[in-house]
């Protein structure tokens, strides 16, 4: 069941909340940026996301096809979420699960994880090896 989760960057300048059910699934990806930052994400529709503070502290990084806005805090460097569109073209957010505040370890451990082989632009398939992600 969806509930309001709050999250933030490390220094607290960027704070957000989102209506999210971690039991519905999370994702890890092997693209170059997700691999280097060990990204663990949960996806929400734009209507389920609210930026509470820190718009002025956010900077945007894009690469490759420039489809995703990888937002990061200019003060502490943490990337609490990214902004993009879902498969149907609707605005959506990829929240960094590790930036959610106050989530019980049990809830994190039980959250299903799907793997995406975005290193090879294959959203629907898992990489051959996922243990390192």
Q: Characterise 78 by phi-psi region: left (phi > 0), alpha (psi -120 to 50), beta (else).
A: beta
49-58, 59-68, 77-86 — which is least confidently predicted? 59-68
Tell me if 129 is assigned to some domain. no
The pLDDT value recorded for residue 130 is 67
As a whole number, mean pLDDT of residues 50-55 equals: 98
| Domain of 73, in residue numbers | 3-118
Name the pTM for this structure. Answer: 0.88
Q: How confident is the model at residue 87 (pLDDT cuts 50, 70, 90)?
A: confident
Looking at the 3D structure of the chain, how many domains does it have?
1
Report the CATH number at residue 70: 2.170.150.70
Q: pLDDT higher for 127 or 107? A: 107
Tell me if 101 is assigned to some domain. yes
Tell me if 29 is assigned to some domain. yes
């Amino acid at each position: 069941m969806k509930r309001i989760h709050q999250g933030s960057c490390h220094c607290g300048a960027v704070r957000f909340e989102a209506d999210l059910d971690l039991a519905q699934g999370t994702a890890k990806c092997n693209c170059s940026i997700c691999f280097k930052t060990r990204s663990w994400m949960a996806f929400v529709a734009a209507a389920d996301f609210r930026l509470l503070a820190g718009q002025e502290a956010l900077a945007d990084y894009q690469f490759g096809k420039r489809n995703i806005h990888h937002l990061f805090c200019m003060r502490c460097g943490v990337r609490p979420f990214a902004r993009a569109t879902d498969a149907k073209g609707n605005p959506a957010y990829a929240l960094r699960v590790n930036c959610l505040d106050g989530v019980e370890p049990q809830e994190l451990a039980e959250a299903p994880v799907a793997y995406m082989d975005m290193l090879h632009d294959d959203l629907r398939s898992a990489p051959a090896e996922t243990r390192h992600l």
